[in-house]
């Protein structure tokens, strides 16, 4: 999450890291299939997205491929850049009051929803109201709205209850409020605000509509003939669910998939870096790999012990063995591209002797801990295994355990007892504002605060910075978060994608704020 800071200077353009291809293939033919002639794009999901493609519910990762291509918001972030740059989408112009409390928008004319009804100012209020009523993870982005008033069909004023420097970022980010058809919501609302309907339909304005959604099996997108913008080259996008990472790579290597956009394990990265048959891309993101420590369980209830564990982790070694080709050691507690380099510094010195000294005095039952990781992330399994070895050298007995994503999110708001003492997790902000990352991660009610760790100094600094977007206040919040011993940023991670050489437009289709996905309308054959 992030805010419009000086870091985000409008017009800043890309210095994308794009690597071309190199040597032998890993497990498949060395000659990719020819480009398709039927205008069907074949991609895949590694595991099911896990949540319905409802923009007011979806709050995970790879399923953004569905929501960001079927729905549009008032604003968006520009593709093909290495820093977040705001640009118009369904709003063509906007202004913010000096106190960041009142926002006015001029809306795009001639836009149709997929149900054929016109996009007008009525959709803005209906969409904000629907998000609040559904009240799922991203609902916080609209809870501070005091009023939405319309000026004819193509003018809207949004007034907030309190100043919020991150509000425009909310509107543009991949989890932000999307515009939904008011008529479609009314017709299909049922008893759950159309949640049932939007599991396998959509009510958006995007270049693609959702034409199939079979959980655990396949998803499909079809280009929308009345789309207001440039028509997509690919008329259909097929997205089967593949449950095995090796099977996914084999299908790609054999030319059955046009690209692999996410979840390539580090063990496969080097083979594709060395492969001259395929194109590979290491693209800037706002993703970081974190270590979380549970302050409510066992020895970790003591901040001194938590900090000792963090000091025992050899971050340089983790990055060296895991993120070659697509990541670097993190220098800030915030994810990359959120704040200027001088803010939010981490100050954790690698010194395993601190933990060794503490562990020697712990009772036997306090020396055993569990390191958890998301079962859909093979890299975090590797990282967890490496941390296990490092902690063992310092006197802790650790076991490594996989947890499904749904269970991990279920720890939020709990007592921490069913969760592990330590967890590795690849995360990113909802929007490019330091406040947003701090809120969801460090505030007691944050949607990514899995273990409920918080501190008054952190919360106060975040709240102080929100009205104006003060980098200094957000930096203080980050520094205070580090002191809790609950969070350590290991690595800033790029999107590493591989594609058939005929697939064009990958860099332009990639958005630094949108992990593991592409804007499909920017892709073509060349």
Measured CA to CA in angstroms, residue 400 lies from 240, 373, 397 at distances of 30, 8, 10
Round to whole Å and give the CA distance between 467 and 461: 11
- Going by the DSSP 8-state scheme, the letter that residue 201 receives in this structure is -
Alpha carbon of residue 128 to chain centroid: 21
Residues 6+ apart with CB under 8 A from 247: none
Are residues 76 and 165 in contact, defined by beta-carbon separation less than 8 angstroms?
no
Query: Residue 17: pLDDT above 70?
Result: no
Q: What pLDDT does 325 receive?
A: 74
CB 362 within 8 A of CB 368: no
Quick one: pLDDT at residue 32? 53
Question: Does residue 422 contact residue 370 with C-beta atoms inside 8 Å?
Answer: yes
Average of per-residue pLDDT across 193-199: 98
- pTM of the complete model: 0.88
Q: Helices (DSSP H) in 341-455: which residue ranges? A: 352-361, 378-393, 405-410, 434-442
350-392, pLDDT tens digit by residue? Answer: 999 999 999 999 998 889 999 999 887 888 999 999 999 999 9
Q: What share of the chain is helix, strand, coil (3-state, %, to 5)?
A: 30, 25, 45
CA dist., res. 515 & res. 494, Å (int): 9
Exposed e or buried b per residue across 238-260, where buried means at least 16 C-beta atoms within 10 angstroms of its C-beta: bbbbbeebeebbbbbbebebbbb
Partners of residue 476 on adjacent β-strands: none
- Is pLDDT above 90 for 399? yes
Percent of the chain with pLDDT over 70: 94
Instruction: Check the CA dihedral 434-439-440-443 and report its sign.
Output: positive
How many other C-beta atoms can be found within 10 angstroms of the C-beta atom of residue 392? 12
Domain ranges across the chain:
286-494
Helix (H) / strand (E) containing 29: none
pLDDT confidence of 266, banded at 50, 70, 90? confident
pLDDT for res 23: 31
The domain covering 286-494 belongs, at the CATH homologous superfamily level, to: Dipeptide-binding Protein; Domain 3 (3.10.105.10)
- Strands 236-242, 40-42: parallel, antiparallel or unpaired by DSSP? parallel
Average pLDDT over residues 196-208: 98
Does residue 25 carry a pLDDT above 90?
no
């Amino acid at each position: 999450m992030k805010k419009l800071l000086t870091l985000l200077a409008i017009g800043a353009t890309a210095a994308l890291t794009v690597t071309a291809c190199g040597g032998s293939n890993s497990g498949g033919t060395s000659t990719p299939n020819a480009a398709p002639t039927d205008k069907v794009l074949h991609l895949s999901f590694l595991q099911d997205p896990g949540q319905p493609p409802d923009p007011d519910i979806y709050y995970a990762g790879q399923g953004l491929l569905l929501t960001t291509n079927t729905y549009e918001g008032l604003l968006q972030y520009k593709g093909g850049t290495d820093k977040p740059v705001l640009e118009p989408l369904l709003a063509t112009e906007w202004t913010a009051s000096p106190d960041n409390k009142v926002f006015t928008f001029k809306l795009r004319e001639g836009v149709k929803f997929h149900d054929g009804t016109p996009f007008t100012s009525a959709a803005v209020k209906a969409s904000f109201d629907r998000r609040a009523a559904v009240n799922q993870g991203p609902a916080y982005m609209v809870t501070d709205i005091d009023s939405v008033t319309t000026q004819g069909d193509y003018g809207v004023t949004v007034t907030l209850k309190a100043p919020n420097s991150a509000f425009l970022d909310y509107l543009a980010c991949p989890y932000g409020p999307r515009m939904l058809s008011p008529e479609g919501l009314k017709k299909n609302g049922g008893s759950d605000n159309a949640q049932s309907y939007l599991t396998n339909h959509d009510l958006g304005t995007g270049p693609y509509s959702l034409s199939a959604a079979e959980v655990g099996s396949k998803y499909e997108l079809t280009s929308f003939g009345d789309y207001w913008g440039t028509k997509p080259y690919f008329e259909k996008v097929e997205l089967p669910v593949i449950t095995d990472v090796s099977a996914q790579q084999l299908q790609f290597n054999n030319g059955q998939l046009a690209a692999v956009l996410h979840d390539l394990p580090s063990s496969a990265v080097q083979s594709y870096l060395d492969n001259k048959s395929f194109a590979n891309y290491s693209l800037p993101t706002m993703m970081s790999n974190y270590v979380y420590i549970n302050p409510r369980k066992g020895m970790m209830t003591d901040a001194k012990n938590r900090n000792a564990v963090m000091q025992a982790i050899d971050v340089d070694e983790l990055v060296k063995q895991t993120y070659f080709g697509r990541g670097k050691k993190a220098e800030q507690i915030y994810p990359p591209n959120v704040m200027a380099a001088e803010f939010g510094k981490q100050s954790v010195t690698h010194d395993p002797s601190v933990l060794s000294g503490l562990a020697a005095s712990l009772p036997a039952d306090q020396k055993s801990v569990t390191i958890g990781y998301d079962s859909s992330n093979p890299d975090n399994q590797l990282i967890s295994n490496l941390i296990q070895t490092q902690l063992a050298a310092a006197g802790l007995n650790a076991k490594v355990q996989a947890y499904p994503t749904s269970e991990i999110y279920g720890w939020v708001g709990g007592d921490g007892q069913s969760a592990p003492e330590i967890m590795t997790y690849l995360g990113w902000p909802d929007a490019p504002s330091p406040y947003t990352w701090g809120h969801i991660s460090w505030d007691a009610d944050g949607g990514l605060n899995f273990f409920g760790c918080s501190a008054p100094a952190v919360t106060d600094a975040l709240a102080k910075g929100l009205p104006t977007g003060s980098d200094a206040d957000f930096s203080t919040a980050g520094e205070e978060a580090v002191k809790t011993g609950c969070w350590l940023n290991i690595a800033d991670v790029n999107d590493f994608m591989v594609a058939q050489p005929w697939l064009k437009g990958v860099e332009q289709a990639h958005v630094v704020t949108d992990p593991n996905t592409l804007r499909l309308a920017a892709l073509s054959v060349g």
